[in-house]
Structure 1
Amino acid sequence: MGTRHLICVFWKGKWVVAQYGQFDGYPEGQGVKILKFLSVARNIENLKAGLENHIYEPTKEEIDAIWAECNAWDEARRAETDTWQWQPDMVGVKQLYPSLARETSAGILGIIARASQTEDGGSTEDGAEKKTAKKIPLHPELEFANDGLFCEWAYVIDLDNEALEVYGGSEYKHDGHRFKGVGDENQPVPGFVCSFKFSEIYLMKSDQEFLDKIIEVGDERAKRDGAGDGGDMQAEEGKDDVEKGDEDEDEDEDGGAGSAKGSP
C-alpha cells in the first residue's frame, strides 16, 4: 500500500542514509522489517562496514547515466518478447540499482550490509584474482522529512546511541528534535513516537511487542492532544495507521515502478 516514508541512519554525528520509500511505511510493514534486521547483531556490524567503505552519492551526471542504463535495460527486455507484460520486479532500476528504487525502503539496510561481505571479482596482469570494493549508490532524500502531508512515517537508526527511533505524522520543530536542523525553521518535521534501544530489541520475543509499544504511545499522544497540548500537528495519525495497517492504493502518475523519489 502507498505509505510514503523515510528510512534514515545516523552515524558518527551525521546523516549517512536517508532512503525514501513509497510503500508499506507503517510499523507493520517497514517498521517490522527494520526490527528484524536489527535483531541480528552481526547485521549492525556489517552495516557499519558497508557504510564505511561501500556507499557513495552519485553526481547529477552519474544519476543521468544510471537512469539511461536502466531505461536501456527496460527497452531491451521489451524487445525480447512480443507479449511483454509489466512485472513489478522486472524493471531496470530494481535489477541494476536496487538501492535507488523507491520500493527498496528498509531493504537498503541489507543491501549496504551485504556489500561489505561481497566484492566484485577481477584479475591482475599476471592472472591472479583481484578483489575490489563494491560501491552502492545512494540518493539521499532527507528533505522529504519536511513534507508534513506525505511523509507519514520515518525511522531513524542511531548507530551512535544504538537505538531505533520511530516517527509518525508531523509536528513543529523544537529544541532537541532529531530533525530540527533539516529544512527551514518553520517547516514541519516527523512527529516523534518512541524509541527502542538495540539491547531491548534483542530481547523481544515477537514483532507484536514492538507494535504494542507504538500503539500504547499513540494512545497517550491522543489523550495529551485532547487535553489541549497542541504540539502535534497530526496526533492521531500514527495510532490509526498502526491499528489499521491498511491504506488506499497509491499509484504514481506514470503508473509504473521506478526510481527513488527525486531521481530523473
Structure 2
Amino acid sequence: MIDTNVSIGPWPFRKLEGTDLARLTARLQRNGITQAWTGSLEGLFDRDVAGVNERLATACRQTAPGLLVPFGTVNPVLPAWQEDLRRCAEIHQFHGIRLHPGFHGYDLGLPAFEQLLKESAERGLIVQLVATMEDERTQHPVFQVPSVNLTPLAALVKQHPSLRLVVLNAFRKLSLEEAGKLAAAGQVWFDIAMLEGVDRLGALASKVSPQRILLGSHAPLFYVESAVLKLQETTLPTQIIELIRQTNAQELTRFPTAN
C-alpha cells in the first residue's frame, strides 16, 4: 500500500510518533505500507524552508529509503520561495511539494500561489495542498487555524491543465459533491484521511472517479490503522480498492501528466 499523507518531525501541541522515526516507520510497515509520501511538520512553522527540506531529505534517506518518499515544503509568502521550489526539483529531486496555506497565512487567491502552481506544473512536480491539519474543536485555544477555503481551486486547475494536484484532508469541510466538481476541473486527487462515516469511501467513488482517490492516513496525527480499515470495510469491488491502495499513486508519480 502507498500512503500519500504522512508527516515527520515535532508537533508543538502534543507528542507524536513523527519525532521517533523508528517507531513511525515500524507502524507503517506493520500495517502494510510499502511507501509513504512524507512531509515535514517543521515546515508549518520554520521560515528557513531550505533547512527544513534538507533535513527532510536526509531523514527519509537515512531512516527508510524507499519507504519514506519526501515531499518538500514551499511557502509562497516568503521572498525566496522560487529558490526553495528549484531546490526541491533540482537538488533534492523530490516527486512533489506539500503546501500549508492555513499555517502559512495565505488564501488561494494570492497571485504568488497561482505562480507556484504554474511553476510546479512546468517542473513536473506533484502539488499536495493540505486543507486542514486538525479538527477545529481539538486545536489549541490560542492557536486556531481554520480549514482552507478551497473554492478558488477549480478555476486555477482549469487554467493549468498540466498541474497534478492532490488535496489532503479535504473532507472536514468539502462535500462529496464539491469534490466531484473540483475533480472534473482538471487533474485533482483526494486522500481519504478525513473521510468519515459508514462506507463513505463508496460514496466518494460515486462522486469522484475511483482513479482520483488515494490512500492517506495523516499519520502520525491520525492512526494509520484508521485509513487501512476504510479499505477493509468498504463494499467497493476489489479492483477499485486496489486502485486506491497503490495503483493510482503509482500512476501519479510515473507520468508528468495523468489521465
TM-score > 0.5, shorter chain as reference: no
Q: Which has the larger radius of gyration?
A: 1
Higher helix share: 2
Q: Which has the higher contact order (CA 8 A, sep 6+)?
A: 1
For normalisation by structure 2, the TM-score amounts to: 0.29
Higher strand share: 1
